[in-house]
Amino acid sequence: MSVAVDGNIGIVKFNRPKHANALNAQVMPEMLKALSWALDEPQVKVVVFTGEGRFYTAGLDLLDVAPEGPVIPDEGVEVLR
């Protein structure tokens, strides 16, 4: 994840393009840290979230949060990739 300022715009960019920028246990705390950064920057008036690559974000990474392994069977994962 990267953060930048362009004028009064804070830009937060997800950087997991191979996983469609899906949110996982590593990204979520980084996202909260980025929001905290934006709140502390006096020149930032708005925050734009964007993503590296083709997708902004696919949402929650189900493969990462399933307590007993993948929620989607392996053959389903290959279709999604």
Q: Which CATH architecture has domain 2-80?
A: 2-Layer Sandwich (3.30)
The model carries a pTM of 0.73
Tell me the per-residue pLDDT of 6-24, one tens digit each, with 9 for 90 and over.
Answer: 999 999 999 999 999 998 8
What is the rounded average pLDDT of the residues 63-71? 66
What stretch of H or E contains 38? helix 27-40
Mean pLDDT over each residue of the chain, to the nearest integer? 85
Enter the tokens of residue 72. Answer: 């989607």
Enter the tokens of residue 16. Answer: 């997991």
